[in-house]
Structures are given as structure tokens and as C-alpha cells.
Structure 1
Amino acid sequence: MQEIIMNSLSWQVKGFWPWVPIKGTSMELGQELMGVTDWLPASVPGGVHYDLYRAGLIAHPYKNLNSLNCEWVENRWWLYRTTLERPSQMGDRIELVFKGLDYEAAIYANQTLLGEHKGMFQEAVYDVTALMNEHDRLEISVLFKHAPDEMAQIGKTSETFTQKSRFNYKWDFSTRLVNIGMWDDVVVRVHNMYSIGEVYLSTDVKGFGTPEVDQVIGIVRLKTDVQKQASSSYEERMPLVLIICCRDPEGREVASRVVDVHENRETEVELEVFYPQLWYPNGYGTQSLYSVNVLLQSGDGITVDERTFKTGIRKLEYVQNDISPEDSLPYTFKINNKRIYIRGVNMTPLDHLYGNVTNEQYSWMVRLMQQGNINMVRIWGGGLIEKSRFYELCDANGIMIWQEFIQSSSGVDNIPSQQPEFLQLLEQTARAALADRRNHVSLTVWSGGNELMSEPNKPSNDSDTNLAMLKALVSEYDPQRLFLPTSASGPVEYITDQKGLGHDVHGHWKYMNTPEHYRLYGENDNLFHSEFGVDGVSRVKSLHKFLDESYRKPVSMQDSMVWRHHGEWWDTLARDETLFGPMNDLAVFSESSQWVQAEGLRFILEANRRRKFRNSGSIIWQLNEPWPNVSCTNLVDYYGEAKMAYYWTKQAFAPLHVSLDYRTLNTVPGERFSQGVYLHAHEAGHNVQITAEVMDSTGYLHHSAKFAAVTVEDKALCVGQLDLVIPSTPDGLLLVRLSYRSEFGEGQCHPYVFSADSGPIYSSALKLQGANLQVGLEKDWQRIAVTELLESIVTVTNNGSEVALHIHMEEQTNGYWMESDDQYFTLFPSETRRVAVRCMEKKGGGFLVDDTSTSDELEALPEIVFRCFPDRDFPV
């Protein structure tokens, strides 16, 4: 089979009122009915909105309130057209394939209706062999009806009737901007007489924990069939053989089989790989990928079809948590006989208009996961079954995938829809997703959907008809993987103080103030925390991109329509003024809000991790956002800028980490401070020396303590108590910094900042002006081999008289995405930090095309500026 991609053909699109393209002419006048637009250049894959923007017919929908003026787009019909030339090699059967039509479409070739299609996530496939034999070229037309009137976030799940991404219709992190168009590739498939059918590839490992086996053996299993694509002029069957060859990451053949096959008969092959290079999640080992080549040959040795897959060899298991109730589900994942503590993120679609997302955007987001010590991503049920490239990147970077089917809660009711039309479409989506995505080694668990509840605060289970169907499909297509009926999976939905009820829970999504935030999360007993978050304002650099100048000042969402439009639920002004005092400067507000977000998330992650494996992991809501918000619960904003919470999360997720257990940010001079110090590690048996330092904002050391410990693998280790009497400090601020040294290197944690201030506890931090950063470029920008990354090393020294809080970098040309070893770190007077920083040229799609460097120099290098709290700049 040969696949010819049609994306680069000359596509055009034109808008019409409903039914006009079908009618064509006026019934009364007999004249041609014109469209609401002329023919416009179209992007494929893509969506109508970007094409309209390029043509000047709509304003940039992500800026200010402009999206409100774009809602007419979803109510029109849109006709795409292009010309398809006859392939140079015709083969025996030619199929026209649309991998992602959004949403309801009729497909024509030379005005002949090929068929109609409904649904985003299963291919629309049409046989055009006869037409191609008759014509040198085909005029291909795709007519999209207006978008269905589906539920937004607030509505009734029980009344959903489509398999369209529902966040399009308005969610807390998005607006209403309903995509229409071809959101994935369009291809022509040329088949010979026979072709390889659906392939199911799975791997396993035998030999773990069995004394009678003296070596570990990798198992590669493959199931497929052979399909006849055209009738032949003779009745006898052609003799066929399948040749399956497995090659290691270096390209060496390690196993192969040759089997006789027959059309429409399933064939199953098992290969043994001796001394395999095993696949591990990020942080636990390497991500070795083997290639599996499947060759279909005729009896005389002619190649009829060929498929190649990449896979990792690993053993996948699920077990209950330590000290968990008997009725709990198995929330602990085991890879290669090793329990994996989940350090995860939830992911929304990368763009509101997701057809425009580029491979480079996927690459950048997966890189941020990998560099952020993240090992699992939950692909949320209100969004997408993502494009194939994303799953390939997760395979290569060790990011385990929790894939939800496309259904989500709606607030008014959250009951899984039982509507016959919906169940039919859901089954089609599930079968298509299972058949393809199961072949990715990173895929770890399936879920029926997001926050589905039979009754308030009670997650649905597989006794529900809808979820029972999905469970049966997973058992049929992918029996090696776990199916969770929904996330959270109960027995209660939301985090609770009641002991024994918090199995897999969601919530909360706000910083709950001191001491309540620390009491709730520090004393909780949940088994798995699969969704929670804390909100924070975006970086000022990003705010300037979508807010006009008149809107660039701190304001409550209640008092600004524009701010409300970009993050209504995530108003942090009152919260932050309670902690810091009045907010008058946008940059100070952004920095302060991000501090609270980072502090709140860090504590939840560390509190959960202190209960490893009674708690099996944390999945933060959320990694990203699909359109620019003033404020959101994301770690990375729409423009690819990592917030403070990303870097504090990165540290809390590190393979080796130390943490402080506490219950309030308030301190009282003269009172005793006695808090536990914990050591977290993935591997056992490593000696670690830990130092705790208690300092004020001038850098004066009031107390220090040292601890020594040997790491343990399956639980957090309390190494001792940090015990002292709270001293008086010049401004009431007291900073506790933990650092560690081991055979693998050394590290220093972002400090815990406490305050004795009787008013806003962090108001003194806003008055810090004594830092003086000297920044130098230690190594010029150089390209990292075999990557698109540029790297530099910078050194920063605090030559001032006061602490420099939350030192971070910002790329100034706007031509690059940027990440570094560490950001938002703290330097006391006379301290120096050496940091490697990496940049990747921005190559976003759709409306992100405009978000790039304005420099005329094609080879312009990144330009970095350093900042520290509360909004002070220091150039390199």
C-alpha cells in the first residue's frame, strides 16, 4: 500500500448559507445563489477560521473580545474543493481517505456523491478506483454542514449526541469558537491486489521474578489479516507469505518469522527477543524502540504490501496501592516489574482550532513534559483523540498516556448519554481509536470519559450501559490494558476529609489559603489524585499579545468583560491582594499570582508524594491551554511560555527530591518550628546528605541542620525534624532552603517562604529592592547535535544586599520557545548559579504563525533577559 498525502494540493473554501450549495439556484428567480464569501485559499489540515482571518474577513479571534464576532462561522455551510491527479502507479484499488472531518460532511468526486460522514475521529474512506480509471483528474469537493449545537461545559451530559470536541463550545479555559474543516490529513491510498489488514502489536517480558529462568526475554506479538482489494481474472488463490522482522534500536535484526497466510484469515505471530533493551517511562530508564517490519509477498517473491511500526518492549501490570481498601481499583502501574509513581499532567488540545497544530508544537509540548520530569499525560475526554504524531513522541520520550474516550461532564447533569445516535458514534470513535492507538507502547490506560457521574459526587461505573460498551470494546481490542470507567473513578468524585472514601479523586482547583490548603492536602488519604490545580495569571509577555493596551492593568474578572472573556473562573485578584496587598502594576500582579500558583501546587505534589505508594501519583490540571487566558490553571500558556508553576512542579517531580512538611505559611517569633524533612527517590540504596538552612531576606543564617539517609524505592523517607525557635527578622520573612548531595550530583530546592507579618503575609516581599544581579554568558549559543535546539550556559550572581526571589529568564526576540535546567530560583547575597538554557525556533500553526520574531535577520540568535521578584530586569 502506498499513501499519497494531499495536504499540499491547492485547496479552496467558500462559505454559504445552509442548503444553498445543494439548491444552487434561486427557485423564484432561477439565478445562481452566491456564497457568503468568495473562494478563498484553504489550509488542509486546518479550519475555516484561519482561512477567513488570512483573507481579512474576521479579526484575530484570540484578541480582546473578537471571538464573539466570529460565532457566525459555525452556522454557515462550507465547501472545500481541489483537483486530484491520477497517481502515477494505479495499483488495483485506490481509496480517498479523510483522516479527520470536522464534523458532518458530504464528499463528492466530479459532482458524484461518494458518501456522507459524521464524526471527527474515524476515517472517511471512499473507493475511487473506477473514477480514476475513467478520468485523468478528479474534482474533489467536501461540503461541511454547520456545526451541531452540542453541549458546552454547562449543560446536560445525558443529552450529548455527537462525537465533536466539546471544549469548542465554551469551557473554563476556552471560549466558544467551534471549528469546522479538515483537521487531519487527507491521503490517497493505492492498494495492490492484496494488502495487510488491521494490525495489533503488543509486547511483554517473561523471566521477571522466576528463578528457573536465567534471562529476561522480550515478547513481540502481532495479529493481522490479509485483505483482497480487487477481484482477479482467475479464481485460484495467490499463495502469500508474511515476513515479520524485528530490529533493535541500532537496526540489527533480532527476530523474524515467515508464515503462510490466506485472505480474510487472522494470523498471529509471536517473536522472542533475547537480551532486550527494555522501554521505561521517563525518569526510570531509557525509551528503547524496536522496529517491526511486516512484509506481504506473493509466492514468487514479489512484495505486495509493507507496514513498519515502532514499539517498545515492556511488561505492563496494574496492582492495588499499599494499605488500600479491598474494593479499590488497581491504581498503581508497574512497568517491567517496577512500580511507577505517577508524576502527571492533564492535557487539553493545543489549540482551540486544532487542525492548525503543527508537529513542532507537539514536539515542544512533549519536550516540556520530558524535561519537567513528567511521566504520564491524561488526554482529557472533552478534547481530542490526538493526531498520531503526538503518540509517537510520547513513545520516544517515555510519557505514558491515559487516553479518555470523547465524553465529559456538563455540570447540570453528568450522566453518560444513552441516546442511540450518540452510542453508535461513540462506538465508532472507540473502535477507531483502539485499533490504531493500542500499538503505541506509551499508551497505558483507557478511560470512559471525564467526570461522568450517575448522581452528584458519585462517579459512574461499568454497570452503566454506555461505559459497559466501552469496557467490552477495550477487552476486545486491547485486553492487556486497564479500563477505568471514568476519571475520577470513585467511590466519591471530589477530594474529601472523610477517610477511606478518597480512592481516585478530583479537586480542588483553587489555592485554599493558609492554613486550610495545607491541612486538607497534607492530611488527605486519597489513593490517586488524577485531577487538581491552582490558578495563576499568565506572563506579561503573553498578556501583551492578546490584550490591547487599555486592558493591561490588574482588574477583577467581575469588572472587565475582556478579562472575563479570557478566564472567568480563574480570577485571582482578591486572593493575591489578601496575600500581598493592593495590586496596581500588571507585572507585579502576574509575578505574585504565579508565586501563589507555584506554592499551592508544590505543596499538593509533595504531600501526595510523601504517601508513596499509599498514594500512587498526581496528575495536575493542567499542562496547557488551547487559547490565551489572562489567568488559568495551566503550567504552560498558549504561546508556549512556561509559568513559575512549571518549574516548581519540575522540581517536585524530580527523581531525587527533598521536601518540607508544614501546615501554614504564618510564623510567630519565639514559637517553636518543628517540621519533618522528607527524602523522595525512584531508586534504593543511594547515600544522600541533606542540609536545611533557615535564613532571612538579607541572607543571614539563623539556623542550619544536616541529615544523612539512604534512599528507599517504594516510599518517602522521613529523615528527621527541622526544629528551631522562630527568630525575629527585619521584615518578618523567613526562608527555609533544603539542599542535597549524592553520588548523582547535588540539588537545591526552591525555598519555602514563611512570614510573621500580621497583615498580608507577603507584603514585605513586594518591598525587596536590594538584589543586584550580574548576568554573564558563559557559553555562546550552539546547536545541540541531531536536534533543532540551541543551547547556551549563563551564570547569574546576586551582588546585592537582599535576597533575589524567583529569578527567571525571558526570550526577547519572540522567535524561540525556551526552557532551562531551572527557573524561578532564589539567590541570597553573594550566591551564584550556573544554568543551561535551550531554545527552539517557533513553528506554530494557524494563529500562532504571527507569534514569531519580527527580526529581519533569518539567523538571529535568542536574546535573554533575567528578572526577579517583584518585576526587576537584568540583561545578559
Structure 2
Amino acid sequence: MTFHALHSGWHLTHVAGDVPETFAETTRSSIPATVPGVVHTDLLAAGLIPDPYIDDNESALAWIGHSDWAYETTFAWSDDGEAIHDLVAHGLDTVARVSLNGRELGRTVNQHRTYRWRLGALLREGDNVLRVEFSSPIAYAREREAVLGERPHSYVHPFNTIRKSACNFGWDWGPAVVTAGIWRDIGIEGWSDVRIAALRPVIGVDDDPRRVDVHVELEWQALDADAAGTGAREIVAEVAGARAAASVAHGDARATLSLRAADAELWWPCGYGDQPLYDLRVAVGEVEAGRRIGFRSVRLDVEADEDGSPFALAVNGRPVYIKGANWIPEDTFFPRVTRERLAERFDDAVDANMNLLRVWGGGIYESEDFYDLADERGILVWQDFLLACAAYSEDAELWDEFAAEARDNVARLTGRASLVIWNGGNENIWGWVDWKWRPRLRGATWGDGYYQRLFPEIVAELAPTTPYSPGSPYGFSSYVHPNDPAHGTTHIWDVWNQVDYDVYRTYRPRFVSEFGFQGPPAWSTLFSVVHDEPADPYGPLMLVHQKAQDGNGKLERGLGAHIAAPRSIEDWHWATQLNQARAVRFGIEHFRSLHPLNQGAIVWQLNDCWPVISWAAVDGHGHRKPLWHALRAVYADRFVTIQPRERGLAVVLHNDTDAVWDAALSLRRIGFEGAVSADEPVTVSIAPRQAVTVPVPDTVATASDPARELIAAELSTEERALWYFAEDPMLALEPDGFEASAVATDAGYEVRMTARSLVKDLVLQVDRIDATARVDRGLVTLLPGESETFTITAPAGIDPHVFTAPGIIRSAGDLNPVRV
């Protein structure tokens, strides 16, 4: 079997659609095109459009999504000795007509599928012309809405009528840059006699993590009548020292081989063990196919108990407390996302002590690189089917596309050690119950058939050992509200949208699969794309990069009593970043303190797809926001927090490791200048994967001066939690209660900070010196006399003292009102 990639020699032409005079040059001739790629990136590379991410170029370029485009290449072909040739397109975005040498091969209406067309005599010796014509996805979506009927959906365009990434039409964190193009590999596959059409390993059969059933689909070359049906072939599967073989006759479409790799080591999530992976090889004669697999079993417990219904994952029989983040596409222009870029985000996840990423339903089924990295790093994957925040028609045309898309991707991803749950969609069941859809639908279908019948049937057939959830949020009962925190998964969005983040403490959720709070990206990221003069949170170009409804108003109201009103654009940027980190940390500390009632949280969101004010922990240029540093602390394996309880304050310790956590715990009430008013020692022992609660004695819990005291719960194993008796504006924080020094090193730079008095939530905004600069820690609180060294990676030649300048070093204290 051979594969000839068709990635060179392409040209792009505007076919139809109104083009503003400013961009008339784009219609005059074809331009070179990159495949895989999309129209926007080709126009950008040709210098015909400005960067869509800068200022308000997004709206200036909206015409691209309303236009029709054509990709064309001429390629030379000569006989390669194979009997059959297929054109294989792994991703066409989205409404396409494909032709070879002037003859139509087929049409597509689904971005999320692989397509295959038999070429036969259309493929000729010498030059061949391959053409892919793309119709406007916006026009197609509106046309189908007129046929299928209008159904509720978020935002402007009816993305629920077309099988294209929903967020590509714009979201409350993403731009509406509606793409078209050959976005994944395309090429000619040649084969003879037999082709392994699909290889689907099902791991953990009968709850045995070392057992794998290898399902193989075969396609055979048609033989003449005299030769048809003659002979048999051996099909062999091998993995981790185990081997199985069977006989298949010519024309057999399927074969299943069962193996038990007794000597294989088990695959574990990060923090629970190693991630050994093994090469699975399947051969029919000389034809081979393979995958890399890990051995593990997965269980999801949703059975009712006295507190409601849990949502608890177990891998290899061991419960796993989930510390996760939601994942959106890493770039609005999907072909620009490389393995290296994905690896950086996985570094962000692992370094923040995360163990799960949820691939959200408004995005895409991710690349092989994504799942490879998840398998290698031990990051569990929760995979949504791609439906989000909308009602979906169940008419045959969409039903058939959903079925083909689901079968394609479930089969592709079955056998991934990291993939531990398939989820029917995002907020659609909740929408039907709570968002006043029913009067508008008037009895029309809305998607329930996908969540309750189509998807679970496909998962049960193709991935029977992987758990399935109909939606997120979901209560796992017809008689339970889908967003009831006591049952299954819950999304908490009244915080951010309506109420203060202290409301998190009113929840007792079994599992939180979405929640979060907004904050701006790094200074250099934000002002690389926003050029209002003067800079203003409400400047017109700033608001292009704030997609949430009344987003800036919510940011400012969200400061509440926690942080004083900002006095400058610099303070606004820092205050809202800090508040984002504080809000999310507040929520997760509370959720973890409820363990084992609570079995995890998945914050919205890890990453951004462009430079924007959003819920992300890592911005569109790869800068780790203060939120990321908060997540690293609150997702630590050994976690300690001080929480209010009915009888007063308590220290809660959660040991998410396999070792007993024995430590001496010191409970101290300390003045901001260092004086200790009370000190109570306690010895604690926390069993593996368990939590304990220790009451705080009244001598420590009662402040004599709430504005100048705090509680420190400090362990001999170096973990620490702090409690303040008042919000920041009421605290006597010094804006510059520290000494700072900086030096250049062989690896970059170091800044040494020493506190004279309490320094709360210390951050170095090193990107303001150089946009490529990174710092290894943030949100550091120093008690009087304590020191911390910050390591900075930045280009050589910078005067190190600039890293200690006012405006680069920020803390909670420099936001406080000036005290007379």
C-alpha cells in the first residue's frame, strides 16, 4: 500500500461573492496556496489581507466567509504498480465539490469526516488536475436552516445546521473568521489485493486491562469470476509479546482477534503511575497496519447514593480525582497548530498538575498529535461529540452526517489509552430544559435522539469499554434537572454572569465540568492586537477583543469588595488578571475541600485560539496568566486550604498521592510585620487519596486586628495555606514592602525578592520588557523576612534591573487605596 500526498502546487481562486473594493486584488488572479491550509492563511501569506487578529480586521474580512473559493493543483502521475487508487481527504472545510480532470468525484458537507473516492480510469499517466471548490459555509448554513427549520442557537450564524466547528462562526471568546479550505492531509492511496480499511483495538474487555480485542475491517480487490472466493489468508495481530492469528477468506469484510498481553505494564494517568505504550501490529500477508496502545480499564460510577449521584472515574480499578481544564482549538486557523505548539500546551497542563483535558463540543475532533501527547503525558481525555449550545435537527440529512462523523471518529480514537469518556454534547440538554427552547421548537426535534440513542449505540458498538455521558451538564436520570449539582456533572455560570465568586461556597457539587472567570491576556499579548489611543478598557478596538456580553462590566463588577477600583489602564489590567486567579482558586479550594463528595473539577479553560480577554489560563501567545499559577497551586497533589465550617474555621488537607502524608502542622496568627500572636501545633496523618479536616482553635481563628493579621497553616512538608480576616481594600498592605535585586545568569535572569512586611500575590510582568520573556512562578505571597527567587527566560543583553522596575513587579498591595 502506498500514499502519495498531494500537498504541493496548489493555487487558490476567488470564485464568487461580493468583495470590498479594498480587497479587489484578491479576485484578479489565483495565488499560491498551502495545503493543508485555509483561505485566510493563504490570503495572509500572499499579503492580500491584514492579520485578522489585529484591531478590527475581523469585521473587515467577514466577506471571506460569504465567498466561494476554489483550490486547484496539477500533479504528475505514473504507474506505481498498484491495482486500485483512491483519493483520500482527511479534512475538507466544509461544503466542497471535488473533481479530477474535469469529472466530479464527490461532494462534502462535513468538516469532521474523512472522505474516500475511487479514481479508476480518471487517474491518468502524466498530468492530472485536481480541483476542490468550496461554497460559502455561511450561505449553506442559512440555506439549510430555511429547509430544516429555525432552531435555537448561540450567537449570529446558524452553526447548528452545518457540520462545521461551531466556534468558527464566533463565540464569546473567539472571532467570527469563517474558514474554508483543505484543512487536513489529502492524497492518493494505492493498493492491491487487500486493504486494511480500519483497525480498532478495544482495550479492557471484561474489565481486564491487559485484554484487547482487535477489530479489523478489510476491503478486497474485486477478482474475476474464476478466481473469486479462492484461497484463504492468515491475519495476524501482535502486541507486547502476545500473538493471535485467524484465517480470512477473500471477501471477508471483518475479523476479530483477541489477545491478552500478560507481560504488559499498565498505563496510568499522570500522578498515578507510568504511561507505557506498545506497538500493535496487524498483518494480512504483506499488508500491515499498526497503532500504539496502552493497557488500562476505565469505569464511571454514576449510581445513586445518599447524597445524590456521583460522577467518579476509575482507571485500572483505582478512583482518580480529576484536576482538569476544558480545551478549545489552539488556533482559529486549525492547520497552523503544530505538534510543537500542542506540546507547549500539554506542558502547561502537566506543569499545572492537571490530569484531564475536556475536548469541548464546539470545537473539533483533535489531531493525532493531540491524542499522542495525551497518551504519552498521561493526560486523560474527555471527548465531546461536536454539538454545543444549540438545538439540532434530527432530520435524515443531519442524522446521517452525525452517524457517519461519529462512527469515523469513535473508530479512529478507540484504543487511545488517554480517552476515558465520550460525551454527547455541551449544554444542549440543559438548554432544552432551562433556556425557553420548547415554545420556540413547537415539538420539533432538538437533538435528544443523538444523545440518548445514536451516540450511545455507536459507542457501545465501537468502543464498548469507554464510558459514555449523554451531555454536560447531566444528572443521569430523566427525573433530575441536568444541572443539579447533587447529581452527575454541573456547570456553574451564575458566578461570572450574575453573582460574586463567594457564591461558589453555596454549592456542594459532585463534579464540576465547567466554571470559570474572565481576565485579560498578558500585557504584551493584549497590546500587540489592540491599538486604541489612548488605551482604554472600553476602547472600540479593545471591545473587539472582549467577546462576552457585557464582559468588561462583569470584570469590573466581579472585583466586588475583593479589590479596589482600578485607577489606570495598568491597574485595570493587573486587577482583573488577579481577580480572575482569585475567583477560580476560591472555587477549586472549596470543591476540593468537599472530597470525597466532590470528585473533581474541569476549569473553563486552559487555552485561547487568538489574543483575547477570556477565561483562559494560558493566552493566545502562550503566556501563562496569573490564573495558571493559581491552578498550579490549587491542583497540587498535596493540597491544604482553610475553609469556613459550621463551627468555625477548619484546615482541610487532601492527599492526592499514593503515600501517607505525615506532617507537623503549625497554625499561627501572624501580624503583617511578622509578630506571632498565636501558635498551635498539630500532627496530621492523611492516608493516600484521602482528606482530613482539622479545626482551627479559637486562639488562632479570632483576630485582634483584622486589617493587619492573617492565619498561616504551615506544614513541615512545606505546604501552606493562608486566611485573611478582611478583603484587600481593608488590609494594611504596603505597596512596596519588599527588597528586589536582579542578576543575569547563563540561562537568563534571576530576581530575588525579600519581604519587609507581608507581600500578597506577587507577580512579575516580564513580558512588558520583552514579549518573549517568561517567568517560572507567580502569585507568590511572602511573609515578613521570607525570600523568593524568580527565574526569567528572556533574550540576552537586557539590563537585569529593568525586571525590578515599578509596573513590572506587581502585588495586591499596589492596588490598595492610598492610605493617609
TM over 0.5: same fold?
yes
Deviations 1:797-854 (A, max 9, x none): 316555263234635786858573x432122343233567789xxxxxxxxxxxxxxx
Instruction: Please list, as runs of the form range in 1=range in 2, the aligned pairs for 1:759-774 lying within 5 A after superposition.
Output: 760-761=729-730, 765=733, 768-774=735-741
State whether residues 658 and 688 of structure 2, in contact with CA within 8 Å, keep that contact through their aligned partners in structure 1.
Answer: yes
Q: 1:191–1:769: structure 2 CA closer, same or farther, 3 Å change rule? A: same
State whether residues 737 and 758 of structure 2, in contact with CA within 8 Å, keep that contact through their aligned partners in structure 1.
Answer: yes
Q: 1:811–1:82: structure 2 CA closer, same or farther, 3 Å change rule? A: same
2:217 — aligned with what?
A: 225
Q: What letter corresponds to residue 54 of structure 1 in structure 2?
A: A
State whether residues 78 and 125 of structure 2, in contact with CA within 8 Å, keep that contact through their aligned partners in structure 1.
Answer: no
Q: 1:291–1:736: structure 2 CA closer, same or farther, 3 Å change rule? A: farther
> Is 1:175 matched up with 2:175?
yes
Q: What letter corresponds to residue 810 of structure 1 in structure 2?
A: V
Deviation at 1:725, TM superposition (A): 5.3
Deviations 1:671-693 (A, max 9, x none): x9734343332335331333344
Deviation at 1:399, TM superposition (A): 1.4
TM-score by length of 1: 0.81
The root-mean-square deviation of aligned C-alpha atoms, in Å, is 3.6
**Which of the residues 531, 542, 546 maps onto 2:525?**
542
**Aligned partners of 1:401 and 1:266: how far apart in 2?**
29
> Is 1:348 matched up with 2:328?
yes
**Aligned partners of 2:95 and 2:497: how far apart in 1?**
44
Deviation at 1:867, TM superposition (A): 6.5
Stretch deviating more after TM superposition (449-458 or 504-513)? 504-513
Deviations 1:768-788 (A, max 9, x none): 12322224567x33xxxxxxx
Q: 1:708–1:207: structure 2 CA closer, same or farther, 3 Å change rule? A: farther
Instruction: Please list, as runs of the form range in 1=range in 2, the aligned pairs for 1:193-232 lying within 5 A after superposition.
Output: 193-204=193-204, 218-231=210-223
1:588 — aligned with what?
A: 571
Q: What letter corresponds to residue 484 of structure 1 in structure 2?
A: S
Instruction: Please list, as runs of the form range in 1=range in 2, the aligned pairs for 1:301-312 lying within 5 A after superposition.
Output: 303=286, 305-312=287-294
Stretch deviating more after TM superposition (768-777 or 275-284)? 768-777
**Which of the residues 492, 497, 509 maps onto 2:481?**
492
> Is 1:698 matched up with 2:668?
no
**Which of the residues 89, 94, 103 maps onto 1:112?**
103
> Is 1:59 matched up with 2:50?
yes
Greater fraction helix: 2
State whether residues 242 and 258 of structure 1, in contact with CA within 8 Å, keep that contact through their aligned partners in structure 2.
Answer: yes
> Is 1:688 matched up with 2:663?
yes
Could you list the runs of 5+ residues in structure 2 that have no partner in the other structure?
143-151, 439-444, 812-820
Deviations 1:617-660 (A, max 9, x none): 1111111222221x211111111111111111122111111111
Q: What letter corresponds to residue 651 of structure 2 in structure 1?
A: G
Q: What letter corresponds to residue 830 of structure 1 in structure 2?
A: G
1:424 — aligned with what?
A: 400
TM-score by length of 2: 0.86
**Aligned partners of 2:569 and 2:799: how far apart in 1?**
25
**Aligned partners of 2:131 and 2:800: how far apart in 1?**
47
State whether residues 153 and 170 of structure 1, in contact with CA within 8 Å, keep that contact through their aligned partners in structure 2.
Answer: no
Q: 1:236–1:872: structure 2 CA closer, same or farther, 3 Å change rule? A: closer
1:300 — aligned with what?
A: none
2:149 — aligned with what?
A: none
Q: What letter corresponds to residue 797 of structure 1 in structure 2?
A: M
**Aligned partners of 1:157 and 1:180: how far apart in 2?**
16
Deviations 1:595-637 (A, max 9, x none): 21111111211211122232221111111222221x2111111
Could you list the runs of 5+ residues in structure 1 that have no partner in the other structure?
21-32, 209-216, 248-253, 298-302, 665-671, 782-791, 840-854
1:662 — aligned with what?
A: 644
1:717 — aligned with what?
A: 692
2:147 — aligned with what?
A: none
Q: 1:184–1:692: structure 2 CA closer, same or farther, 3 Å change rule? A: farther
> Is 1:75 matched up with 2:74?
no
> Is 1:386 matched up with 2:342?
no
> Is 1:872 matched up with 2:805?
no
1:439 — aligned with what?
A: 415
> Is 1:832 matched up with 2:803?
no
Deviations 1:81-136 (A, max 9, x none): 1222326734222222111111111112122211111110111212224333x322
Q: 1:58–1:528: structure 2 CA closer, same or farther, 3 Å change rule? A: same
Q: What letter corresponds to residue 716 of structure 1 in structure 2?
A: A
Q: What letter corresponds to residue 763 of structure 2 in structure 1?
A: I
> Is 1:606 matched up with 2:589?
yes
**Aligned partners of 2:346 and 2:461: how far apart in 1?**
30
2:14 — aligned with what?
A: 15
State whether residues 212 and 260 of structure 2, in contact with CA within 8 Å, keep that contact through their aligned partners in structure 1.
Answer: yes
Deviation at 1:294, TM superposition (A): 1.4
Deviation at 1:314, TM superposition (A): 0.7
> Is 1:633 matched up with 2:615?
yes
Q: 1:689–1:867: structure 2 CA closer, same or farther, 3 Å change rule? A: farther
Q: 1:417–1:753: structure 2 CA closer, same or farther, 3 Å change rule? A: farther
Q: 1:542–1:700: structure 2 CA closer, same or farther, 3 Å change rule? A: farther
Instruction: Please list, as runs of the form range in 1=range in 2, the aligned pairs for 1:123-138 lying within 5 A after superposition.
Output: 123-132=114-123, 134-138=124-128
**Which of the residues 446, 450, 461 maps onto 1:466?**
450
> Is 1:481 matched up with 2:494?
no
State whether residues 738 and 753 of structure 2, in contact with CA within 8 Å, keep that contact through their aligned partners in structure 1.
Answer: no
**Aligned partners of 1:158 and 1:15: how far apart in 2?**
24
Q: What letter corresponds to residue 236 of structure 2 in structure 1?
A: I
2:261 — aligned with what?
A: 273
Q: Secondary structure at the match of 1:525?
A: coil
Q: What letter corresponds to residue 434 of structure 1 in structure 2?
A: V
State whether residues 55 and 544 of structure 2, in contact with CA within 8 Å, keep that contact through their aligned partners in structure 1.
Answer: no
Q: Secondary structure at the match of 2:136?
A: coil
State whether residues 226 and 265 of structure 1, in contact with CA within 8 Å, keep that contact through their aligned partners in structure 2.
Answer: yes
2:491 — aligned with what?
A: 506
Stretch deviating more after TM superposition (561-570 or 273-282)? 561-570
Q: Secondary structure at the match of 1:160?
A: helix
Q: 1:756–1:224: structure 2 CA closer, same or farther, 3 Å change rule? A: closer
Q: What letter corresponds to residue 112 of structure 2 in structure 1?
A: F
**Aligned partners of 2:97 and 2:236: how far apart in 1?**
39
1:259 — aligned with what?
A: 246
Q: 1:343–1:793: structure 2 CA closer, same or farther, 3 Å change rule? A: farther
State whether residues 606 and 659 of structure 1, in contact with CA within 8 Å, keep that contact through their aligned partners in structure 2.
Answer: yes
**Aligned partners of 1:364 and 1:526: how far apart in 2?**
31
Q: Secondary structure at the match of 2:198?
A: coil
1:29 — aligned with what?
A: none
State whether residues 806 and 825 of structure 1, in contact with CA within 8 Å, keep that contact through their aligned partners in structure 2.
Answer: yes
Q: 1:118–1:309: structure 2 CA closer, same or farther, 3 Å change rule? A: same
State whether residues 816 and 862 of structure 1, in contact with CA within 8 Å, keep that contact through their aligned partners in structure 2.
Answer: no
Deviation at 1:265, TM superposition (A): 3.9
Q: What letter corresponds to residue 117 of structure 1 in structure 2?
A: T
Deviation at 1:75, TM superposition (A): 1.2
**Which of the residues 311, 315, 322 maps onto 2:297?**
315
Deviation at 1:532, TM superposition (A): 0.7
State whether residues 13 and 39 of structure 1, in contact with CA within 8 Å, keep that contact through their aligned partners in structure 2.
Answer: yes
- Paired residues, what number? 778
State whether residues 194 and 220 of structure 2, in contact with CA within 8 Å, keep that contact through their aligned partners in structure 1.
Answer: yes
